[in-house]
């Protein structure tokens, strides 16, 4: 008879907890936590999108893609139409500071895929960016030089 009494006490304790968990205040707290999670997820997604958009509008990004679109050997290797994908923001190669920008832009086409490596610099903050080097590294390891700034004259020289 002792065992059923302990069992009955444990059951009553559980029922009391269930009633407590189903209270209106707890329901409101649960909804608040869910909405906070939705807002946090939306904020992170929006921030990621805005960072991607900022990169894609930067002059060093746009100029590098122009060089790629004007390079027959690179276009032949990738095939057309050319697809430009989002940057991996967690990649250590992607780096931008006041005077230097270094990006690895994922690109693909019907024939192959790879990364467009971009190195750009500027003399001072708020000055114009100047491409230093752009090359395409395909997934098979082949590397195609697309653009390199000539060191002696400072003129832009395409490698074809």
Any residues with CB less than 8 A from the CB of 64 and at least 6 apart, and which?
Answer: 103, 105, 116, 118, 120, 131, 134, 146, 147
Any residues with CB less than 8 A from the CB of 68 and at least 6 apart, and which?
Answer: 74, 75, 82, 107, 116, 134, 136, 146
DSSP 8-state symbol, 1: -
CA angle, 62 then 77 then 151, to 5°:
55
Q: What is the pLDDT of residue 158?
A: 47
Q: What is the pLDDT of residue 116?
A: 97
> In tens digits, what is the pLDDT along the chain, a chain of 160 residues?
444 555 555 555 454 444 444 555 666 777 878 888 888 889 999 998 998 898 899 999 999 999 999 999 999 999 989 999 999 988 999 999 999 999 999 999 999 999 999 999 999 988 999 999 999 999 999 999 999 998 654 445 444 4
pTM: 0.72
Q: What is the pLDDT of residue 92?
A: 92
């Amino acid at each position: 008879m002792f065992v059923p009494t302990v069992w009955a006490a444990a059951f009553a304790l559980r029922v009391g907890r269930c009633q407590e968990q189903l209270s209106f205040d707890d329901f409101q707290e649960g909804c608040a936590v869910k909405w906070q999670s939705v807002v946090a997820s939306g904020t992170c997604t929006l921030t990621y999108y805005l960072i991607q958009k900022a990169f894609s509008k930067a002059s060093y990004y746009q100029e590098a893609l122009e060089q790629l679109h004007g390079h027959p050997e690179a276009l032949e290797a990738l095939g057309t139409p050319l697809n430009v994908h989002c940057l991996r923001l967690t990649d250590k190669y992607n780096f931008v500071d006041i005077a230097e920008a270094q990006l690895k832009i994922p690109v693909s086409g019907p024939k192959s895929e790879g990364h467009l490596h971009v190195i750009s610099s500027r003399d001072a903050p708020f000055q114009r960016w100047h491409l230093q080097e752009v090359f395409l590294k395909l997934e098979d390891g082949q590397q195609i030089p697309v653009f390199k700034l000539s060191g002696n004259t400072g003129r832009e020289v395409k490698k074809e």
